Each structure stands twice: as structure tokens, then as C-alpha cells.
Structure 1
Amino acid sequence: MDKDVHHGFDTLAIHAGQEPDPATGAVVPPIYQVSTYKQDGIGGLRGGYEYSRSANPTRTALEVCLAEIEGGVRGLAFASGLAAEDTLLRALCRPGDHVIIPGDAYGGTYRLFAKVAEPWGLAFDPAPLGDVAAVRAAVRPETKIIWVETPTNPLLGVADIAALAGVARDAGALLVVDNTFASPYLQRPLALGADVVVHSTTKYIGGHSDVVGGALITSSAELGERLAFHQNSMGAVAGPFDAWLTLRGIKTLGVRMDRHCSNAAAVVKLLTRHEAVREVLYPGLPAHPGHETAAKQMKGFGGMVSFRMGSEEAAVRVCESTKLFTLGESLGGVESLIEHPGRMTHASAAGSPLEVPADLVRLSVGIEDADDLLRDLERALGAAAIV
């Protein structure tokens, strides 16, 4: 691609890091399923490749593309989102440091902090990230990172990235933003002042429920080098086939996200009118406390919807009554999923300050025909209303 030309998101998603193969002309980067590389003499590396933990051409293509679509200078691909998070913490923190996390963080992130990082010596505190003053009050002299999810998983809370970037700068800390729910198509945290973006590429970026992966992207070359050193040293890298699948998913990210958003809006309209639903959590609703912030920093409101049924029994019944919405964990795939966070994705937060409401249902709205999804939900809600 011509580096002197400004390209739109979809063009970058299809072409960045993915020039035709010089040997064959293949328009898709090959899967370099290889562990080691022939050297042209001692230290004579072809293209900088010597061992695939350190670098692999397929992974390089993915990492370049990730950096471009997030507006960063360095992208790094990992075996999972949690592998990316763990590498980030080990690279940027030391025992005795402190991190502020969302008051409703993803259960796996909470488990990483509570069960892995804290025993290592890293302190953390949850804070309501929608309240900038509360985040500022939670800062300590030893705070090294303010860790943001926006929207959050599963309560769909929204944080003002630019405002929190100011808090982080004042504290001499880094702002890390988990952009998994929004995707780079809907939200660009680096442009709003974030230092590092985290993704579970398993979700919207991969988009087809067929690959597990993670990513870190930064706009700082120096920070990128530190993260790359730990990526190689810790070794939880994306394999070449996983990188290839993720790249394939990125190509259609923009068009998929448009459909996810429009389908989610239709689902929200149904839920807000249904008598069995107690509350709908979605940043696109004007009554949502983070609506104005989301409208300011996001291109669209996303495909994730949560709602409360008033009782755990009713929530479980809805989850077990759908046909098109598949009962399953994860999110961001082309197919619609439904789950009970309290018993599934966020079970690790049970009994903690981050415990989610027992009557909560989370939807990952896919790209099926909207009318089919609405009929499926209406049928399940009707079944849940029967005592």
C-alpha cells in the first residue's frame, strides 16, 4: 500500500500488511507453517526471520494490519486475549505496583488480577470508570495502569477514554483500553489518548467463532519494543494458522459490524417494549448513563446487549428457551449467542465486588435476518413469563 495516501478503514482491513506474495503473486498471505528458517550465513536472516516464536511472516501480516486499523505503530498478536493481558502486566508492572480496573470488568480479567497477578504482588482496585472523579480518587502513588473496558462486559458501562487519559497522564500512569466489545471499526482508543489497546481477537476481529487469539496495539514505538520483548520472552504467540484465520476475519469487520449494530438496535427495540423484561442495558439507549459519551467516541453502539429479567429463574429460562440464539460463551461471531453471565462467563467473579446480577442475560447479536432473531427472542421471553 502507498504509505503517503490516507486509506479508509475497510481498505486497510483488506490490504494493510497483506501485499501479494512476491514469490507467487498470491493475493492472500500464505500460512507459513514453519518453526525455523534457513540463514544465509551466521546472522544472515532473510527478512528478519529465524524462529517462529520470535516472528513468523503470517503473524507479521496480522500484526501490521492490527496496528493500521487501530491507528497505532506496533501491533502484537497472541495466543489469546488473556495471554496478551498477562504479557502486558508483566512488561509494565512490578510487584508493589497498583492498577485500577473497571468495577464490572470481564470475569477472566478479574480472575487474572485476583488469582494470578495479586499473588505475584500486583495490587488492584475496582472503580466505576464512568465516574472520572471516582477514578481520580482511586489513584495511588504506585498506580501504574488505569485499565478500561468500554463498553464493559457484561453490564455495557461506558467510560470517557479522553477524560481518563487525562487522569492517567496526571498520575504518571498508562491508560490501557480493552476495545474488544467495540472493535477498531467503532472506536479508536489510541486517537483518544490511550497508550495501549487490548483485544480478544477471538471476538469481533476474528468474527467466525473458529479461532482464539489476542492482541496489543500501541502508538509508542518504545512501548511497542518493550511489549515485543516480553511477547518473545514469554512465548504465548499466535500460531500461523490462527493468524491467517484472524486476518481473514478482519477483511469483513466493517461490514459485519454495521449488521451487528443494526440487528442489535432491532433487538433492543423489542426488549424495551416487552413486559417480561425489567431493564435493558445498551449504550444506544438515550436513557443509558453513558449514552452521550458513547455517541461521542463510538461510530456505532455495537452488537452486545444485556437485559435483566427480575429473577434468576426467569433469566435462566430465557437462556434455555432460544433456538437461533445459541446458548454459549464468547461473543462477536456471525451467529447470535445468549448466556447467563452469573453462571457462565463471570462465574469467577461470584462473591467478589464484581459479581454480576443473577437476573442478567447477555446477548451477542449476530448477523442473521433480524426478523428471525426477533421471533426467537419473543418466543423465549414468552416461555420465561410462564410460571
Structure 2
Amino acid sequence: MDFAFDVADDAFRQEARSWLEDRRGRPCAAEGGRAWEQELGRAGWIGLGWDPGETGHGNRHATLTRQIVWAEEYARAGVPARVGHIGENLLAPILIAHGTRAQKQRFLPAVARGEALWCQGYSEPGAGSDLAAVRTTAVPDGAGRYTVTGQKIWTSLAREADWCFVLARTEPGSQRHHGLSFLLVPMDQPGRVEVRPIRQMSGTSEFNEVFFDGAVAEEAVGGEGNGWTVAMGLLALERGVSTLVQQIGFAAELDRVVRTAVAGGAVTDPVLRERLVRQWAELKTMRWNALRTLGGSGDAGAPSVAKLLWGGWHKRLGELAVEVRGAAAAVGPDDWTPTAPYELDEAQRLFLFTRSDTIYGGSDEIQRNIIAERVLGLPREPR
């Protein structure tokens, strides 16, 4: 495995950096959202890992090392967080691997242009980490469409999305991973699709509940009844190049925590200082593990190992973010008044949000079971 960047990669990095710096502060970049996605699409920055000959989307194609370069430069540039990443990094690779030619031609170009936004309909109130417990149903009409009924939860970007890819049970009476299908559902179906924001303890509401009441799904990817295979392929994608992007953000957060510790004198405490050094060393280890996995040398448990590593790491960083500030971390901003909305500061938001890192996307308990059963060959957990 060789992840060294060559001269061409360095030139690509400079091109990406210059493009991002030139647009930082412009209206579409400052506002983010759909307009920013379309700006990225026009410049060919969406779908760098897709094969243009296969998809016909017309954007530039980049090697894996250049995809990493773009992800790193984007994370460092201080431009808005993406709202199109679910369509680009999750749906598109699944369509390329499992979709029909007609499905690719229908959906990929709009994603590449930044015009179609997607959300993911997997988790349910009784099927989060245990995804095989999905109860949302879909009844086929015999003409390739389905009527979907059920509830999804923790659905990121559901309020902005045009489409949702939904894991639903299309075979009546089926259980666990049998009888599931991977369906594509338009979100603009008044009376049939309802989105309710979930307010979190951090005060934000990135996640949503989505209710399907006879909603129409227009496509099944991978064929009816093959949803589990498609869904598992998608979950592996969530820990690919995107993991490296995530780690750039982690590094910036760690840097802020270290600077706070130095400025406030907490770094003189040998215990806190040792924990900060450990966080830095573990972040380096996570990067090399992610590169090893991308290089194809990972095993069946690699995605679960990655989730365990970064979930626990980020949660510990949130704890450090408030600990290095001492008692000041427990109070609000200096300019707070009883008539103004109470606002958490950056460290407080980090602490509260990271409490969920070891739960969402597959809890630590589930990841350990996967490693034990699929990698170590230990007996399955009694059900």
C-alpha cells in the first residue's frame, strides 16, 4: 500500500486550495446550502470517485489519493459543511454498484450538478443499531412502484432533502434481514411524507423523524428483496474517504482544546497533559488505520473497528473540552441576559453532542458483537 502523494497530486492540491480560497466569503459559499452545492457541481468537484464512462455525469475523475487531497483541503478551508454529501458519498456509490443503467442515468447527473439532495431512511424507533428489525413496510404495485408506510428517525437533512433512500420490508411476514428492499422515495409528497425536527440537548436539531403514510417509492435498487445486501454495502461506505474528512475536523477541535488548556493553565496538570497527548497520538493512529482500510488490506471487521475508534475518541475529546476550562465550562456566556436565548458555547456543544458518538451509526455494543462474531469467530449472542 502506497499512499504517498506524487507531483500530480500536489498540483491537484494547489488547484483545489486555490479554488476554495477564491470562493471563501462569496455569497453562495457564505450561505452554504443548495446554492453552494451547485457551485461545487459546476466546477466539477462532486463525484470525484465516480467513473465518468460508467455514470455519464461529466465531472472530473480523480484517483483515490486525489479524493483524499480534495477532502483534506475542503475540511481545512473553512467553507460551509456539505448538504449534498449523502447523495454523493452514500447513494451514488450504491447506484454505481447495484443500480440499473436507467437508475444511474436518472439520478447521478442531478447529484453531480448539486441539484438533488438526499437523506437516509434507515433507523427506526425500534431498529437503530439493530437495523434488521426494520418494520417500515412497502407494498409493490406490480409496475415497479411501492406504497411505503412507517416511521424513520435520526434522519439527517430530511427537511432539505428532495429524496430519501429507505430500507423497507417488501415481503409480508419476513423477519430480520430477509424480505427487505432498498427504495428511493421522493420527499415532496404532501400528506404522505411528514418531517418533524428533533431538538437535541445541545439546542440544535440536525436530526428528524420522518413519517411515511402511503408514500410512493419510485425505484428499488438491487432488486426487490435484496435490500440487506445493498444496505450493508452502504454502511461500509460511511467509513471510507469520509472518515479521513472527519478526522481533519477532529484535529481542528483538538487544536482548540489544546490552545484553551495552554491559555488557561490547565496544561500544567500532568494528568490532563497526558490525556491531551494521548488524544493526539490516537488521532494519528486512526488516520493510519483509515488509510490501511482504504488500501484494501482491512478485514470484515474494519468498519466496526473504525467506528469504535472514532466514537470513543470523540466522546473523550468532548469531556476534555470542558475539563480544561474548569468551573467556567458550567456557566453561560458573559453577555447572557434573562430575555435573550440561552446559547451554548463551542466547547459545551461539543461535550453534549459527543455523548451520542458511541450510540449513533451503530452502538459500541453492536460493533463489538460484529467483531466478535464475524472476525474472531466467537459464538453468536443469544437472542
> For the superposition of Structure 1 and Structure 2, which TM-score range results when normalised by the shorter chain?
under 0.3
- Normalising to structure 2: TM-score of the pair? 0.28
- Normalising to structure 1: TM-score of the pair? 0.28
The structure with the largest helix share of the pair is 2
Higher normalized contact order (CA 8 Å, seq sep 6+, divided by chain length): 1
